[in-house]
A = this chain, B = another copy of it.
Amino acid sequence: MHVHAFIEEMERLAPPELAEDFDAGRIGLVVEGRPRISRVCCALDVTPNIVKQAVAVSADMLVVHHTPLWTPVTTITGRTAGLMRALLSAEMNLYVMHTNFDRAREGVNDALAELLSLEDISPMSIGCIGSCILTPAQISRRVGGNCRLWGKVKKIGRLAIVAGSGFDTALMAEAQARGADTYLSAEMKHSVARTAPLPCIEATHYALEAPAMQRLSTRMGWQYIDDPPLLRIIP
């Protein structure tokens, strides 16, 4: 498949016009490799480990959620030089789907809703709300464990979910106004927790977003490369 055809297919899956403005120039074909695509790998991030594995299987294309070139650069040094050398030397393409995939059908939030068996789902400006039959402990286990509960998390009825870093004051107000009683996302900040209108479940960013990349890989016949951050809790 030619890279142009591959890009067209990706744009059907995650239309670029769904992306937030801040993603302008940071999604789509981020590193250009060879024009023929036979083997595709997929991951959440671009880590040295992931690129190494993709090179090892001679992938022509790596599809990820998080671009390695977020801040615009005028130099290619250090960690960026390492990643770019590995990708460019292998003539591998790098394709990024970010907030456009968050919002896409069967995208990041849809995959999370499915993972948590949510029902009667209604959308929010980002993420969604659904009826949840799981307990907080069951939710925690499904998203990798060790969740933090902020506030009095009781029996969950309607759960708002925002994959990624979604503990935002305005979004939480929206969730409450739309009938949510509990809010699940990642990367809680103290100042937000202090004024949160809802009890919150905090998972890791990786645990909330990786499932979508994994499911996409299965659906497309790609090879998913798992590389969660090394994390543990000490009591």
Contact = CB atoms under 8 A, between A and B. Distances in A.
Given A148-B231, A231-B148, A234-B137, A76 B47 contact: no
B70 A230 contact: no
A69 B195 CA distance: 12
A85 B74 contact: no
Contact of A140 (B28, B32, B234): B234
Given A31-B76, A231-B150, A70 B190 contact: no
A12 interface: no
A84 interface: yes
Contacts of A72: 72-74
Nearest to A30: B75
Contacts of A66: 191, 194
Nearest to A209: B190
